[in-house]
Chain A
Amino acid sequence: MQLLARFLTLCWFVGLAACEPAPPDLPVNDRLGGDFTLTDQDGRPWGLGDARGRVVILFFGYTHCPDICPATLARVAQVQRHLREQGAAGAVQPVFITFDPQRDTAQHLKAYLPWFKADIIGLTGSDADIRAVAQRYGVVFLKSGAADRYDFTHSDFIYLLDAQGRVRKLYPADFNIDEVVNDVQTLL
């Protein structure tokens, strides 16, 4: 009882925030993920290892998708804006991998991505290389439609990777921006 009284007194003096329990560590998901190298929007090889020391927000999509993909990109950009306001944007690297290398060439990604103002790395490559990376992250995608007008059925999770490149959390495409910002903070 005396101990509790002392604790409460300490809280009073130090400030209540200091006495709140620390957020729990995000568990490492060792069933998904791993290193990979694809081609970035400058046409150069880019590997996950290039982001060591930075938290990575990784997601897949394609730029011809009008509904979910631009919305996800815009939400990731909002996360970056929040982190920039907190002085932490440099510690986080958003990475977008296309399912659609035929239309999403390095040149197209270079023209498309800067509009979001989030320093997003855009990655493309051969069909086989992209499929291999997707499989590592448990991402499924299936092309359908005509040769000149096709779409993809795909899973659309967003992956939070820590500074060692390990998967720490998955989010749905319509993730809560504050949740991701808070989770990123726990990994910095």
Chain B
Amino acid sequence: MMFKHFSESLSALALLALASTAHAGEVTVSGAWLRAVPPVSPTMAGYFELNNDSDSAVTLNGASADFAGMAMLHGTETKADGQRSMTHVDAVTLKPGESVTFAPGGKHLMLMKLSTVPPSGEVRDICLTFTDHDDLCVPFQVRHNDPNR
């Protein structure tokens, strides 16, 4: 009898643990794409949405790709008079439940020192790197146009 109660309690605890694991989500990347550029282009820009559905903060601090000698997080800022400038973004921290969108005219991933310029239609893996999370390596599709417009 006592063993039965103990066994039931263990099962309940296991279920509870399972439920909490299922509730805590993950850090995910969606809508990842690269803008198609001419083969002689020295740079490419990448765009994506990063969602933090986990229960702890994460800090994105860079990226890497096997076809780019250098990758940086950049921001495009627009001043009141319409002038635009590019700035280096050191890191982006997302609290649990937060998301950030890298989109044309705003934050973007800048790939430099390209060994090859993948053409439109190709899909290339790019790894996003974090200070407090494993790398997230996701496929970026090379496209002519913003899929969100």
Q: Which residues of A contact B (CB under 8 A)?
A: 63-68, 70-71, 74, 103, 108, 111-113, 115-116, 140, 142, 144, 149, 151-157, 172-174
Whether B83 pairs with A68 at a CB distance below 8 angstroms is: no
CB of A67 to closest CB in B, whole Å: 5
Complex contacts, A63 vs chain B, CB 8 Å: 41-42
> How far, in whole Å, are A112 and B82 apart by their CA atoms in the complex?
26
Whether B82 pairs with A74 at a CB distance below 8 angstroms is: no
Complex contacts, B35 vs chain A, CB 8 Å: 66-67, 70-71, 74
Stretch from B22-30, B90-98, B104-112 that touches the partner: B104-112
CB < 8 Å neighbour of A67 from B41, B76, B81: B76
Q: Which residues of B contact A (CB under 8 A)?
A: 35, 37-45, 74, 76, 81-86, 104-105, 108, 110-112, 144-146
> How far, in whole Å, are A64 and B84 apart by their CA atoms in the complex?
15
Whether B40 pairs with A108 at a CB distance below 8 angstroms is: yes
Given contacts A71-B105, A74-B145, 9 further A-B contacts (CB under 8 A): A66-B44, A66-B74, A66-B108, A66-B110, A67-B76, A71-B104, A112-B41, A153-B86, A173-B105
Complex contacts, A172 vs chain B, CB 8 Å: 82
> How far, in whole Å, are A46 and B72 apart by their CA atoms in the complex?
37
CB of B60 to closest CB in A, whole Å: 18
CB < 8 Å neighbour of B84 from A70, A115, A149, A153: A153
Tell me the nearest residue of chain B to A144, going by C-beta: B85
Q: How many A-B residue pairs have CB under 8 A?
A: 79
Whether A70 pairs with B76 at a CB distance below 8 angstroms is: no
Whether A68 pairs with B105 at a CB distance below 8 angstroms is: yes
> How far, in whole Å, are A185 and B109 apart by their CA atoms in the complex?
37
Tell me the nearest residue of chain B to A63, going by C-beta: B41
> How far, in whole Å, are A156 and B104 apart by their CA atoms in the complex?
14
> How far, in whole Å, are A173 and B105 apart by their CA atoms in the complex?
9
CB < 8 Å neighbour of B74 from A67, A113, A115, A142: A67
Whether B40 pairs with A111 at a CB distance below 8 angstroms is: yes
Complex contacts, B104 vs chain A, CB 8 Å: 67-68, 71, 174
CB of A159 to closest CB in B, whole Å: 13
> How far, in whole Å, are A10 and B111 apart by their CA atoms in the complex?
61
Whether B83 pairs with A155 at a CB distance below 8 angstroms is: yes
> How far, in whole Å, are A156 and B39 apart by their CA atoms in the complex?
24
Complex contacts, A144 vs chain B, CB 8 Å: 85
Asked, given contacts A70-B37, A71-B35, A74-B144, whether A64 binds B82 with beta carbons under 8 Å apart, the answer is no
